[in-house]
Amino acid sequence: MLSKMTTKQVALARIRFNTESNGRDLCWRLVLDGEEIIVESINIQAPVFTSRDWMEPINTFKHHISVANCQVEIDESGNALITPM
């Protein structure tokens, strides 16, 4: 887990299920302007839209819940909060 609260302002946050999780812990992938972070939970308090991105290394599309121009706070337990900027 993270050692302290992390806060970032990002142009695009993309959220998808972490297929490598055990289904109980660390179930979410957050992709923040291209940087991936695995988190426990996500609370979204901003407008969302769906997006689809081609992933060249694995030759497939991945689908996301996405949030544009937002602030992301992740606490030491891995709980993320996404709010508008």
Domain ranges of the chain: 6-84
Phi, psi of 58 (to 5 degrees): -110, 5
Q: How confident is the model at residue 1 (pLDDT cuts 50, 70, 90)?
A: very low
The whole-angstrom separation of Cα 84 and Cα 40 is 21
pTM of the predicted structure, to 2 decimals? 0.87
Q: What does the pLDDT look like over 30-82, one tens digit per residue?
A: 999 999 999 999 999 999 999 998 988 889 999 999 999 999 999 999 999 99
Report the pLDDT value the prediction gives residue 44, as an integer from 0 to 100: 98
